[in-house]
C-alpha cells in the first residue's frame, strides 16, 4: 500500500513539473534541477557520501536556466521582424473592409487610395504577405424593390426601352419626376441640352442591368411604364437632375423621392450646371425656347388684357415686378416678362434684390 502511495506521489510530482515546464519554460526546469542538486548534496553530506552528481546537476540546471534568455531573445526577434508586414496587412485589411461595406456608390469622386504604412520595411520582409480574402460587394440595387431588366434602347434623355427579366417583354420606360430637353418633338424640335442629356443617358444605361422602382401610377397617358431607374445602386433619375440634364417635373401622386430630387435641383441650379447655365431657360412647365414662346403667346393672346390685370396683386397697386424660380426678377417691358410665371411679386427692384433675386440680363 505504501509503495502504491509512493509511486502515486512521484507521478503527481512529475505531472506538476511538466505543467510548470510547459507554462513557465526553461526557467522553472533550471531552478528545479538546481534545487534537486542541493537536496542530493545535503543528503550525501548527512550520510558521508561524496558524489559528483549534485555538481553536474547544478551546472546543467544553471545552463538550462540561462538558456531561456537566449531563447527569449530569438523569439523576440522573430516577433518584431514582421511588424511592418503586420502594419501592411492591417492597412490592407482596413481598405478591404472599407470597400466591402460601402452602401452608396460614388457618383463623381474617385476613391482615395491609402498607401500601406512603412512600405520599405514591409518590402524587406522575406515572408510572403498573406492573401486577404475580399468579400464581394453587394450592389445597392439588389436591395431596391422593383423589376429587373436590361436596357435595350435609349429613346431620349428621360425615356428608355427595357427588356423585363420576368416576362421577356420590352417596355417603354418614362422616368418619374424628371424632364429633359426634347430632341425628337414634332413641334418643339431639338432644345438646348437635349442632345447632351440623350448622350449622357445612352452612355450610362445602354446594355446595363437596371432595377425599375415604381411609384403609385402604373403608366402615363402614352402607355409608357413610369419608374425610377436604378443602375449600379444609383437612382439615375436623380443623377440627371444632379448633372443639370433635367428639371424637376412633379405629377401627383408620384412623389416618393420628391424631397431629395428638389434638393439635388437646388444644388445644380446654384452651381449653374447644364440647363441652369442658360438664363430664363427653365420654366415650371418645360423649357423657354422660341417655339415655346410662340405657343405661350397663342394661348395668352385672346386674354392678354385680362391676364395683365390678374398678374397684379389687387392689394399692392403697382407691384408688378416678377421673381421666378431661377432667382431672377423681370420688370415690365423685359423680353421674358410676359412668359415668366411669378413665384413672387415685388414693388421695386430694391425689394427684389433684398429678397435675393437678381435682374434679368434681357
The domain segmentation of the chain, as residue ranges, is: 2-80, 83-124, 140-278, 286-359
pLDDT at 187: 81
Share of the chain above pLDDT 70, in %: 68
Q: Is the pLDDT of residue 54 over 90?
A: no
The verdict on whether omega for the bond into residue 253 sits within 30 degrees of 0, i.e. cis, is yes
Local structure of 139: helix, strand or coil: coil
> What pLDDT is attached to residue 60?
83
Q: pLDDT at residue 352 above 50?
A: yes
Residue 217 has pLDDT above 90, yes or no: yes
Of residues 309 and 2, the one with the higher pLDDT is 2
pLDDT band at 233 (very low <50, low <70, confident <90, very high): very high
C-alpha grid cell, residue 231: 443602375
State the catalytic residues.
174, 182, 224
Q: Which residue has the higher pLDDT, 265 or 316?
A: 265
Rounded (10°) CA dihedral 159, 164, 165, 166: 150
Q: Residue 197, Cβ neighbours under 10 Å: how many?
A: 27
Does pLDDT of 278 surpass 80? Answer: yes
Evaluate whether 60 touches 36 at the Cβ level (below 8 Å): no
Residue 308 has what pLDDT? Answer: 43
Q: State residue 1's pLDDT score.
A: 60
pLDDT digits (tens, 9 = 90+) for 297-351: 565 555 444 444 444 444 445 688 888 777 788 888 887 888 787 878 888 888 8
Q: What is the per-residue pLDDT for 245?
A: 96
CA distances from 63 to 22, 23, 30, 39, 341 (A): 18, 19, 7, 19, 99
Residue 48 pLDDT: 81
Predicted pLDDT at 80: 53
pLDDT at 248 over 90: yes
Greater pLDDT, 270 or 357:
270
Q: Whole-angstrom Cα distance, residue 45 to residue 91? A: 65
Q: 240: which 3 cell numbers?
A: 440627371
Residues 6 or more apart whose Cβ sits within 8 Å of residue 53: 37, 40
b/e burial code for range 237-276 (CB count within 10 A of at least 16 → b): bbbbbbbbbbbbbeeeebeebeeebeebbeebbeeebbbb
pLDDT value at position 74?
Answer: 65
For residues 152 and 171, the answer to whether their CB atoms sit within 8 Å is: no
Question: What pLDDT score was predicted for residue 6?
Answer: 72
Q: Which set of grid coordinates corresponds to residue 140? A: 445597392
pLDDT-derived band at 103 (thresholds 50, 70, 90) equals very low
pLDDT tops 80 at residue 20: no
In this prediction, residues 162-186 reach a mean pLDDT of 93
Do 77 and 64 form a contact (C-beta atoms < 8 A)? no
CA atoms within a 13 Å half-sphere pointing along the CA-CB vector of 288 = 19
Judged against a pLDDT cut of 80, whether residue 92 lies above it is answered with no
Take residue 289 and report the three cell numbers written for it: 425656347
What value does the mean pLDDT take over residues 42-66?
81
* CATH number for domain 140-278, candidates 2.40.50.90, 3.40.50.1970, 3.40.640.10, 2.60.40.650: 2.40.50.90
More confident residue, 212 or 355: 212
Q: How far apart are CA 258 and CA 254, in angstroms?
A: 8
Give the SS3 label for residue 213: strand
Contact status, residue 335 vs residue 362, Cβ threshold 8 Å: yes
Task: From residue 224, give the alpha-carbon distance in Å to each of 79, 80, 156, 285, 343.
Answer: 67, 67, 14, 20, 32
Greatest mean pLDDT among 9-23, 78-92, 232-246 lies in 232-246
**pTM, entire model:** 0.46
Inform me whether the pLDDT recorded for 249 exceeds 80. yes
218 has pLDDT over 90: yes
Residue 216 banded pLDDT, cuts 50, 70, 90: very high
64-73, 142-151, 156-165: the lowest-pLDDT one: 64-73
SS (H, E, C) 40-98: HHHHHHHHCCCCCHHHHHHHHHHHHHHHHHHHHHHHHHHHHCCHHHHHHHHHHHHHHHH
- Is the pLDDT at 98 greater than 60? The verdict is no
Answer whether residue 173 shows pLDDT above 60. Answer: yes
Any bridge partners for residue 159, and if so which? 156, 174
Q: Are strands 225-231 and 170-175 parallel, antiparallel or unpaired?
A: parallel
Q: Does the pLDDT at position 237 exceed 90?
A: yes
Least confident range from 24-38, 204-218, 294-308, 309-323: namely: 294-308
Nearest to 344 by CA among 323, 318, 359: 323
Residue 217 DSSP label: -
Amino acid at each position: 500500500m505504501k509503495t502504491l502511495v509512493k509511486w502515486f506521489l512521484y507521478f503527481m510530482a512529475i505531472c506538476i513539473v511538466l505543467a510548470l515546464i510547459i507554462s513557465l519554460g526553461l526557467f522553472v526546469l533550471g531552478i528545479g534541477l538546481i534545487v534537486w542538486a542541493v537536496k542530493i548534496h545535503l543528503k550525501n553530506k548527512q550520510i558521508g557520501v561524496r558524489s559528483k552528481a549534485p555538481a553536474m546537476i547544478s551546472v546543467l540546471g544553471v545552463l538550462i536556466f540561462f538558456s531561456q534568455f537566449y531563447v527569449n531573445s530569438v523569439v523576440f526577434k522573430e516577433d518584431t521582424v514582421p511588424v511592418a508586414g503586420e502594419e501592411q496587412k492591417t492597412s490592407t485589411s482596413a481598405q478591404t473592409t472599407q470597400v466591402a461595406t460601402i452602401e452608396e456608390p460614388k457618383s463623381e469622386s474617385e476613391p482615395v487610395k491609402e498607401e500601406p504604412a512603412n512600405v520599405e520595411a514591409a518590402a524587406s520582409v522575406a515572408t510572403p504577405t498573406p492573401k486577404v480574402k475580399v468579400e464581394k460587394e453587394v450592389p445597392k440595387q439588389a436591395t431596391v424593390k422593383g423589376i429587373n431588366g436590361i436596357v435595350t434602347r435609349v429613346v431620349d434623355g428621360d425615356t428608355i426601352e427595357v427588356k423585363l427579366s420576368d416576362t421577356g417583354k420590352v417596355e417603354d420606360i418614362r422616368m418619374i419626376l424628371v424632364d429633359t430637353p426634347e430632341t425628337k418633338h414634332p413641334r418643339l424640335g431639338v432644345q438646348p441640352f437635349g442632345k447632351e442629356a440623350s448622350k449622357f443617358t445612352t452612355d450610362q444605361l445602354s446594355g446595363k442591368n437596371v432595377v425599375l422602382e415604381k411609384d403609385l401610377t402604373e403608366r402615363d397617358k402614352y402607355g409608357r411604364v413610369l419608374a425610377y431607374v436604378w443602375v449600379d445602386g444609383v437612382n439615375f433619375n436623380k443623377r440627371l437632375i444632379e448633372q443639370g440634364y433635367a428639371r424637376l417635373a412633379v405629377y401627383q401622386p408620384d412623389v416618393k423621392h420628391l424631397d431629395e430630387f428638389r434638393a439635388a435641383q437646388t444644388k445644380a441650379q446654384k452651381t449653374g450646371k447644364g440647363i441652369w447655365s442658360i438664363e430664363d431657360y427653365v420654366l415650371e412647365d418645360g423649357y423657354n425656347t422660341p417655339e415655346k414662346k410662340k405657343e405661350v403667346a397663342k394661348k395668352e393672346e385672346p386674354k392678354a388684357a385680362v391676364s395683365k390685370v390678374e398678374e397684379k396683386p389687387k392689394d399692392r397697386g403697382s407691384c408688378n415686378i416678377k421673381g421666378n424660380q431661377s432667382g431672377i426678377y423681370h420688370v415690365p417691358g423685359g423680353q421674358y416678362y410676359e412668359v415668366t410665371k411669378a413665384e413672387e411679386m415685388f414693388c421695386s427692384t430694391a425689394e427684389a434684390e433684398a429678397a435675393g433675386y437678381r435682374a434679368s440680363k434681357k
